[in-house]
Chain A
Amino acid sequence: MQTFNFLKPNRDNIKNYSIIGSLLVLVSLIDVISNAFLQINLTFFLPGSLTNLFPLILGLIGLNMMRIDYSGNKTLDLLNKNINTNNFNALLTLLILFSIIKVLPQSLSWMILDATISGDSKDACTGTGACWTYIKVWFRRFMYGMYPNEFHWRINTAFILVIALGFVGYFMKENLKKYLALYYVIIYPVIAYLVIYYLISGGSFGLQWVETGAWGGLSLTFIVSFFCLIFCFPLGMIFALGRRSNLPAIKYISICYIEFWRGVPLITVLFMSSVMFPMFLPEDFFMDKLVRVIIAITLFEAAYCAEVIRGGLQSLPRGQYDAAKSLGMGYWKMHIFVILPQALKLVIPGIANTFLALVKDTPLIFVVGLAELAGMLALAKTNPKWLGFAMEGYIFASIIFWIICYAMSKYSYNLESKYKTER
């Protein structure tokens, strides 16, 4: 029985149908684009409401004509499988496309076409667009905080040194490889601390002392994240193992630790570390506020790391423990060579999650008066000479944070595929 199949393609006529269909979609897109960018209404001859619906209807008919189960054409099949499975999905596809096109001109003209970047005061920003002059003028502050301008090279050198030291592992000789973990867990943090202390803080070797209160901006974000990341991971590992220990004392201490730090909000921990903690210290004992904050965040995040790592430990089959024990390995050998390598590999996504959250939590240290990137932003937007540019600042900060976090998550994907072995 011949059914009515107008607008329904089959294997024989799909070629013609897909050409006509894509032409229709193209026409609908051109209509929307000319409407959005050039303010020309190609369908002026149609009555009001129909003008707006016209591209949608045209696009839907076009997509409908292209829809077929299997055509053999790769692009067409991909299209049909993913964005054109039925009328509803086709409608969604078109709506999303159209709204992107509609929004694009305004945001483009605000961010780029009408934006100002010249000049070095607020007066330069007279246009309707964004005022990137603001970012340009404040750039050094956003990067280095209140750190004196003439000493910025010290921060740069310190960072380059620390990064270079981080790559030492790649160039280590084969017979030194077994000390790699030791290097990254103990030696590297100490060296990094010394480098940052002597170069950025100064006070010796003829370098002028700069107190940590003046540190700020993106460099402070990096310093805080860096130390918290490298310390909270080994600490978390210890507590994860501790929570699974057979020794009751160790087990309950670990449980208490984890449950305590997971139960309090980070912001109160920061307040405690900077306001309450010094009151309990002996008078002649001084600990810098930045150090206290780093310790507080580290202890806090270590509890989260511990639970993520414990998840990995629990997912290993008991047979792995049995096999390691039956070969005569003790607790530490079993964990270092058999259990942890497998468990840590499994928890890379979870650890990356925790680390990303940590980096994005660093702006909270503003509450105790340390102005990292987002904190500097908050200071700058209340500067009387530069009122009214909060938007530009926050866009700038989000772009920077996005780049950092995206790089981190990319790196974690790389690690995952690097250590992937079949079970």
Chain B
Amino acid sequence: MSDPIIKIQNMNKWFGDFQVLKNINLEVEANKKIVVCGPSGSGKSTLIRCINRLEEHQEGDIIVDGNELSEKTKDIEKIRAEVGMVFQQFNLFPHLSILDNCTLAPIWVKKMPKKEAQELALDQLKKVQIDDQANKFPGQLSGGQQQRCAIARALCMQPKIMLFDEPTSALDPEMIKEVLDAMVSLAKGGMTMIVVTHEMGFAKEVADEVIFMDEGMIIEKADTKEFFANPKSDRTKLFLSQIL
């Protein structure tokens, strides 16, 4: 078995007095797809935001691709460049065109020549089927198109890991499918993915493992089939009965 690409050990995190994450232990191997689910406020988003240090943890270790994340980490930008992230609210840059949204980071962070970056961006936009919108601004696109653009933007950095923070929660039911399709094809391409989502259909289709969280703790972690067919804890059973 290869070394895990993400390793979290005994991690605790507080917001003020409130402990959001309690004793998290998690290992993710390369090319695996993990789905994180659980009720709102259970700390799922905070957990994956810790993985690229958008949130700081107070105790324990997080090791991403051999680099430990802590206050001493000098090149946090370098690690973040390897970890793509897609947000619930898309967070596209509204003052830039779709194409510029995708080429900004490759040009200025990875120092890629402009032409090469544009070709790469168009290629990625084509994969999520919005290459014909490349010169529009984010405000002119539908929610689903914006989210697919956000996926393409993250992929333009050619990351090793992709984090998805409830990518479909802000979308109309019709648009959820087009975003999930893009994620499924990405998963089939072999990307390492951690996805926070309530789309259990997606979890069944692509996930290798499912993690169920509640009140800041990992309650259950199991292979996908096992998780849905045979949940162990009562809390998981209750959650599944409500969501399925």
Residues of A with Cβ closer than 8 Å to B? 317, 319-320, 322-330, 333, 337-338, 341-342, 345, 419, 421-423
Distance between B162 CB and nearest chain A CB, rounded to angstroms: 11
Given contact pairs A322-B54, A421-B139, A422-B139, A328 touches B91 in the complex (Cβ within 8 A)? no
**A332–chain B nearest beta-carbon distance, Å:** 10
Cβ B54 vs Cβ A422 within 8 A: no
Are A337 and B104 in contact, with the CB atoms below 8 A?
Answer: yes
Check if A333 sits within 8 Å of B87, measured CB to CB: no
Tell me the complex Cα distance, A294–B224, Å. Answer: 70
Supposing A326-B80, A329-B105 touch, asked if A422 and B153 sit within 8 A by C-beta, the answer is no
Question: Are A319's CB and B87's CB within 8 A?
Answer: yes
- Residues of chain A lying within 8 A (CB to CB) of residue B104: 327, 337-338
Query: Given known contacts A421-B137, A421-B139, A422-B140, is B92 in contact with A329 (CB within 8 Å)?
Result: no
Residue pair A325, B54 in contact (C-beta under 8 Å): yes
Q: Are A422 and B137 in contact (CB under 8 A)?
A: yes
Cross-chain contact B95 with A327 (CB below 8 angstroms)? no
Residues of B within 8 A of A333 (CB): 108-109
Question: Once the chains bind, are B105 and A342 in contact (CB under 8 Å)?
Answer: no
The closest CB in chain B to the CB of A422 belongs to: B139
Q: Which of B52, B94, B108 contacts A423 (CB 8 A)?
A: B94
Within 8 A of A (CB), among B88-109: 89, 91-95, 104-105, 108-109
With beta carbons under 8 angstroms apart, the residue of A319, A345, A422 that contacts B91 is: A319
Q: Are B77 and A328 in contact (CB under 8 A)?
A: yes
Is the C-beta of B152 less than 8 angstroms from some C-beta in chain A?
no
Q: List 28 A-B contacts (CB under 8 A).
A: A317-B91, A319-B87, A322-B49, A322-B85, A322-B87, A322-B91, A323-B93, A324-B93, A325-B54, A326-B52, A326-B80, A326-B84, A326-B87, A327-B81, A327-B154, A328-B80, A328-B82, A328-B105, A328-B110, A328-B157, A338-B93, A338-B104, A342-B95, A345-B95, A421-B95, A421-B139, A422-B140, A423-B94
The reply on B62 being an interface residue by CB < 8 A is no
**Which residues of chain A come closer than 8 Å to B80, judged between CB atoms?**
325-328
Quick check: is B183 within 8 A (CB to CB) of the other chain?
no
A254, chain B: closest CB distance, angstroms: 23
* Proximity string of chain B (152-187) to chain A, C-beta cutoff 8 Å, 1 when within and 0 when not: 011001000000000000000000000000000000
Q: Quick one: which of A320, A419, A421 has the most chain B CB within 10 A? A: A421
List B contacts of A341 (CB < 8 A).
95
B175 to chain A, nearest CB (A): 18
Which residues of chain B have C-beta atoms less than 8 A from A320's C-beta? 91, 93
A328 touches B78 (CB 8 A): yes
With a cutoff of 8 Å between Cβ atoms, the chain B residues found around residue A323 in the complex are: 85, 87, 91-93, 150
Cross-chain contact of B108 among A325, A337, A345 (Cβ < 8 A)? A337
Distance between B99 CB and nearest chain A CB, rounded to angstroms: 14
Write out the residue numbers on chain B whose beta carbons fall within 8 Å of the beta carbon of A329: 77, 105, 108-109
**How far apart are A423's CB and chain B's nearest CB, in angstroms?**
5
Which 9 pairs, one residue from A and one from B, show the smallest C-beta to C-beta distance? A422-B139, A328-B81, A323-B91, A327-B105, A319-B91, A326-B85, A328-B109, A328-B80, A328-B77
CB of A65 to closest CB in B, whole Å: 48
B54: A residues at CB distance < 8 A:
322, 325-326
B93 partner residues in chain A, CB cutoff 8 A: 320, 323-324, 338, 342
B117 contacts partner chain A, Cβ-Cβ < 8 Å: no
When distances are taken between beta carbons in the complex, the residues of chain B under 8 Å from A337 are 104, 108
Closest to B109 in A: A328
- Smallest beta-carbon distance A368→chain B, Å: 42
Contacts of A324 in B (CB 8 A): 93
Interface: B6 (CB within 8 A) = no
Residues from chain B with a CB closer than 8 A to the CB of A423 are 94, 138-139
Pick from A328, A330, A342: contact of B94, CB below 8 A: A342
Could you say which residues of chain B place their CB within 8 Å of the CB of A338? 93, 104
- Tell whether B83 is near chain A: CB-to-CB under 8 Å: yes
Contact residues of B between 213 and 237, Cβ < 8 Å to A: none
**Contacts A322-B91, A422-B94; is A330 near B139 (CB within 8 Å)?**
no
Complexed CA–CA distance, A329 and B93 (Å)? 13
Interchain CA distance A14-B184 in the complex, whole Å: 67
Cβ–Cβ < 8 Å partners of A326 in chain B: 52, 54, 80, 83-85, 87, 154
Query: Within 8 Å CB of A422, what residues of B?
Result: 94, 137, 139-140
CA distance A421 to B140 in the complex (A): 9
B107 to chain A: closest residue by CB: A337
Contacts of B52 in A (CB 8 A): 325-326
Inter-chain contacts of B82 with A (CB < 8 A): 328
User: Once bound together, how far apart are the Cα atoms of A338 and B92, in whole Å?
Assistant: 10
Given the known inter-chain contacts A328-B80, A330-B77, please indicate yes or no for A421 contacting B94, CB distance below 8 A. yes
Contact B94 A327 (CB under 8 A): no
| Beta-carbon nearest neighbor of B108 in chain A | A333
- Complex Cα distance A345/B94, Å? 12
Q: Shortest CB–CB separation between residue A182 and chain B, in angstroms?
A: 16
By a CB distance below 8 angstroms, the chain B residues around A342 are: 93-95
CB under 8 Å from chain A, chain B span 64-82: 77-78, 80-82
Look across to chain B and name the residue whose beta carbon is closest to the beta carbon of A330.
Answer: B77
Task: Tell me the minimal C-beta distance from B2 to chain A in angstroms.
Answer: 25
Nearest residue (CB) in A for B110 is A328
Residue in A closest to B141 when the chains form the complex, CB atoms: A422
Which chain A residues border B84 with CB–CB below 8 Å? 326
- Least CB distance, A342 to chain B, in whole angstroms: 5
A422 to B110, CA, bound (A): 29
Complex Cα distance, B92 from A320, in Å, reads: 7
| Minimum CB–CB distance for B8 against chain A, Å | 18
Chain A min CB distance to B124 (Å): 13
